[in-house]
């Protein structure tokens, strides 16, 4: 039997017909919405995907790739990331979201990886072979090759073992390659009516009301049933839930979304709450929110509902399995002052918004409206919420969706009519760090600080947040630390560090002059930045964006 790479690849292709991995190209076609599959085989004798020493699956250049190849110790087979740029992969950063998904999968399901070893090639040298671990940002360099799988002596090749291993790795491949809907940032604002389920407990907990359809009908409750719970406050944000759509995520990525929550009851529709300056919660934020608000314990309220017991056939264990996968689902957040729950539901006339006799009612849908329509109907209920009025009367709103016959009122006209002052300042993309001594925390800052204090807590370190305008203070042994948190998603780390240095020196001067100073940023800094901070006798800690672990330099 020939042990050339091409021969081995051909044998894998031929024998794969009896295995799930033999359908890889069909799986790829379905996952990626391709019009036709790239090829019928896993590996193809093509100079771009196969050499005499290695091969990866056809079409896998910009994916986590099924990879086979020779090592000094024998023959490898498994999955890999190749961070070599090409026409298909012009920027290695395009693989970062997939690497992060792999790390998250490992954290949630380590058993999927327990049989595999891992190693990498970087700067022309191979690492040692080690047990699988998260891929850190240090490896994200052009030319790095990261592999995990199995390694056997060449004369002990067993194609059944190879193909069974490939089959066992399919859940990993599918999870990493299952796409998240791509969204783009919208620089304009939009307002929507968003249906939610009816609740007879004033939305302070589940009420057992039977919905006509959707999630709440299937499971007997809805996540929006806590939308008026005053305890649902997370780091100066009101958190709440409605179902979403990719288009809404575009606007909410920068706080450019207004949601008027409406509910149907006895053939009428009511406005029950409103939120402006709305941001969506990412997966890791939802977990942080659930942890800090202890939303898991809400299962007691949920299970008491007859509608829930009926939905789960009185099987509490089945319900709890469902709850463990769903209790973190809180879709939105907005500044506290940009949220208002009406004292009583407000009856709506559909003709104030549309020429139809009914407003949108499906929980998974939404209906766009103009701010002037919202203000005309709801402004008298918002007299104590100037931030909401300000948001609705400032900035540029998306009007591409309306017809030419609709007259759009200007911001100036709306401010004059509804705001009282006529010239209130806007609250749009983020909040200034300093306004008359009052510090407001923007969403990325809140998330990074929440992650950092969780990290301290796991280490058993006691901390204090937001005292004397200092983000975080903690004591390690006898040493006091002042920490300045600086997210770097929208700012170069150099400038984040520059701003933080001045703030920390000020905190130290006016408070404890013997305090140690620490800058916490949201991404890996450059070596020159690490050296700069060290030269000032400060600590620099960063969040590895791929492993979600904090590293102190």
In a 3-state reduction of DSSP, which class is residue 309?
helix
Instruction: List, as one string, the DSSP characters of 22-66.
Output: GGHHHHHHHHHT-SS-S-SSSS---TTTB-SSEEE-TT-TTS-EE
For residues 316 and 320, what is the distance between their CA atoms, to the nearest angstrom?
Answer: 6
The whole-angstrom separation of Cα 159 and Cα 16 is 9
- For tokens 């934020």, what's the residue? 285
Helices 527-535, 493-510: axis angle to 10 degrees equals 10
Going by C-alpha positions, the residue among 52, 56, 66 that lies closest to residue 21 is 66
Q: Is the pLDDT of residue 541 over 70?
A: yes
Query: What pLDDT was estimated at residue 251?
Result: 94
Query: In the structure encoding, which two tokens stand for residue 491, read together?
Result: 């700012």
429-474 pLDDT per residue, tens: 333 333 333 333 488 999 999 999 999 999 999 999 999 999 999 9
Structure tokens at 269: 């529709």
The pTM assigned to this predicted structure is 0.83
* Partners of 120 in beta bridges: 146
- In which band, very low, low, confident or very high, does the pLDDT at 106 lie, cut at 50, 70 and 90? very high
Which pLDDT tens digit goes with each residue over 353-397?
998 999 999 999 999 999 999 999 999 999 889 999 999 999 999
Question: What is the maximal distance between C-alpha atoms in the chain?
Answer: 87
- Structure tokens that stand for 337 in this block: 């002052």
Q: Are 266 and 327 in contact (CB under 8 A)?
A: no
Comparison of pLDDT for 387 and 404, the residue scoring more? 387
Region for residue 379 given its phi and psi (left: phi exceeds 0; alpha: psi -120 to 50; beta: otherwise)? alpha
Cα torsion angle, 302, 308, 309, 311, sign: negative
Q: Are 220 and 307 in contact (CB under 8 A)?
A: yes
Taking 90 as the threshold, does the pLDDT of residue 489 lie above it? no
Least Cα distance to 419 among 397, 443, 386 occurs for 386
Using pLDDT thresholds of 50, 70 and 90, give the confidence band for residue 134: very high
Count Cβ atoms within 10 A of the Cβ of residue 189 and give its class: 0-12 exposed, 13-18 middle, 19 or more buried.
buried
Dump pLDDT digits (tens) for 167-223: 999 999 999 999 866 667 788 999 999 999 999 999 999 999 988 888 999 999 999
pLDDT at 432: 36
Whether the Cβ atoms of residue 307 and residue 200 lie closer than 8 Å to each other: no
Please give the sequence-ordered ranges of beta strands (E in DSSP) within 292-390, or none if there are none.
Answer: 332-335, 339-347, 367-369
At residue 492, the pLDDT reads 87
- Helix/strand/coil (H/E/C) assignment for every residue in 189-242: EEEEEEEECCCCCCCCCCCCCCCCCCHHHHHCCCHHHHCCCCCCEECCEEEECC
Query: 3-state SS of 448-473?
Result: HHHHHHHHHHHCCCCEEEEECCEEEE
User: What is the pLDDT, as a whole number, of residue 181?
Assistant: 64
In sequence order, what DSSP letters do the residues of 378-398 get, joined into one string?
Answer: HGGG-TT-HHHHHHHTSS-B-
Closest CA to 104 of 286, 351, 271, 264: 286
At 165, is the secondary structure helix, strand, or coil?
helix
% of the chain at pLDDT higher than 90: 82
pLDDT given for residue 428 in this prediction: 40
Confidence of residue 38 (pLDDT cuts 50, 70, 90): confident
pLDDT at residue 226 is higher than 90:
yes
**447-465 exposure pattern, b = at least 16 Cβ within 10 A, e = fewer:** bbbbbbbebbeeeeeebeb
2 alpha carbon, distance to own chain's centre: 48
Per-residue model confidence as pLDDT tens digits over 82-103: 999 988 889 998 899 999 999 9
| Average pLDDT score, the chain | 92
Report d(CA 420, CA 201) in Å as an integer: 34
- Cα-based distances in Å from 274 to 240, 303, 379, 405: 11, 28, 11, 27
Contacts of residue 137, defined as CB under 8 A and 6 or more positions apart, other chains included, come to 523, 524, 544, 545, 546, 547
Question: Which residues face 154 on adjacent strands?
Answer: none
Cα separation, 209 vs 200, whole angstroms: 7
CA pair distance 97, 334, nearest whole angstrom: 26
């Amino acid at each position: 039997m020939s042990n050339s790479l091409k021969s081995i690849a051909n044998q894998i292709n031929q024998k794969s017909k009896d295995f799930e991995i033999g359908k890889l190209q069909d799986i790829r076609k379905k996952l990626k919405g391709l019009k036709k599959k790239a090829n019928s085989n896993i590996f193809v004798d093509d100079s771009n995907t196969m050499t005499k020493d290695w091969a990866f699956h056809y079409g896998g250049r910009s994916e986590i790739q099924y990879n086979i190849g020779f090592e000094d110790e024998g023959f490898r087979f498994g999955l890999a990331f190749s961070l070599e740029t090409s026409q298909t992969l012009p920027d290695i950063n395009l693989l970062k979201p997939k690497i992060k998904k792999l790390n998250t999968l490992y954290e949630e399901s380590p058993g999927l990886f327990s049989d595999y070893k891992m190693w990498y090639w970087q700067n022309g040298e191979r690492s040692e072979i080690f047990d699988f671990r998260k891929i850190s940002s240090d490896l994200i360099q052009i030319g790095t090759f990261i592999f995990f799988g199995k390694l056997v002596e060449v004369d002990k090749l067993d194609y059944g073992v190879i193909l069974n291993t490939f089959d066992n790795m399919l859940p990993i491949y599918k999870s990493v390659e299952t796409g998240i809907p791509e969204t783009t940032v919208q620089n304009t604002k939009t307002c929507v009516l968003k249906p939610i389920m009816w609740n007879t407990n004033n939305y302070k907990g589940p009420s057992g009301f039977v919905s006509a359809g959707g999630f709440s009908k299937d499971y007997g409750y809805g996540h929006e049933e806590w939308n008026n719970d005053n305890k649902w406050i997370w780091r100066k944000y009101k958190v709440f839930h409605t179902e979403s759509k990719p288009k809404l995520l575009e606007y909410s990525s920068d706080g450019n979304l207004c949601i008027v929550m409406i509910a149907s009851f006895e053939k009428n529709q009511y406005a029950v709450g409103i939120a402006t300056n709305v941001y969506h919660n990412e997966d890791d934020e939802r977990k942080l929110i659930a942890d800090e608000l202890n939303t898991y314990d809400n299962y007691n309220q949920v299970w008491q509902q007859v509608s829930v017991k009926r939905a789960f056939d009185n099987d509490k264990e089945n319900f709890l399995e469902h709850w463990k996968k769903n209790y973190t689902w809180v879709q939105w957040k907005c500044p506290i002052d940009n949220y208002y729950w009406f004292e009583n539901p407000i009856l709506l006339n559909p003709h104030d918004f549309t020429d139809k006799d009914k407003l949108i009612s499906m929980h998974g849908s939404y209906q766009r409206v103009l701010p002037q329509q919202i203000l005309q109907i709801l402004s008298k209920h918002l007299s104590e919420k100037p931030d909401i009025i300000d948001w609705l009367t400032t900035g540029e709103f998306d009007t591409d969706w309306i017809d030419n016959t609709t007259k759009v009122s200007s911001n100036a006209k709306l401010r004059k009519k509804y705001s009282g002052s006529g010239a209130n300042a806007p609250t749009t993309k983020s909040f200034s760090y300093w306004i008359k001594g009052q510090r407001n925390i923007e969403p990325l800052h809140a998330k990074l600080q929440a992650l950092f204090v969780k990290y301290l807590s796991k280490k058993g370190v006691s901390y204090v947040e937001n005292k004397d305008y200092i983000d975080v203070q903690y004591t390690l042994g006898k040493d006091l630390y002042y920490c300045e948190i600086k997210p770097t998603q929208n700012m170069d780390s150099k400038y984040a560090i520059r701003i933080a240095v001045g703030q920390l020196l000020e905190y130290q001067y006016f408070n404890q002059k013997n305090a140690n100073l620490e800058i916490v940023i949201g991404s890996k800094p450059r070596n020159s930045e690490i050296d700069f901070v060290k030269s000032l006798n400060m600590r620099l800690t960063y969040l590895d964006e791929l492993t979600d672990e904090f590293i102190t330099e």
